[in-house]
Amino acid sequence: MIKMKYKGRTFTNGRSLANAMTRDFNNEIERKVRQAATSSGVRVRKTHKGFELEGDANSMTRFNNRLGR
């Protein structure tokens, strides 16, 4: 039996490890999008289609620049 550790948890099943890594990746992306939006003055809403952003052209440009870093 192969045991793998990821962030303090031990996994013996590859599927559960992949699920944990995918969940952490999605949470990190959401945090980065929300931080970039807050600092640039853009409103973010999470919908069933993904994220929706609202703001003027200047704010959207600032958001794009911040997210690109």
Tell me, yes or no, whether 16 lies in a domain.
yes
Angle between helices 14-40 and 57-68 (to 10 degrees): 140
Q: Does the reported pTM lie above 0.75?
A: yes
Domain count, the chain: 1
pLDDT category of residue 49 using cuts at 50, 70 and 90: very high
Q: Does 6 fall in a domain?
A: yes
Range of the domain at 5: 1-36
Interval 10-28: pLDDT, tens: 999 999 999 999 999 999 9
Angstrom CA distances, 46 to 6, 8, 43, 50, stand at: 28, 29, 10, 6
- Please check whether residue 23 lies inside any domain of the structure: yes
Tell me how far CA of residue 30 lies from CA of 6, 13, 20, 45, in angstroms. Answer: 20, 26, 15, 11
* Residue 48 within a domain: no
pLDDT at 69 over 80: no
Greatest Cα pair distance in the chain: 55
CB atoms within 10 A of CB 63: 21
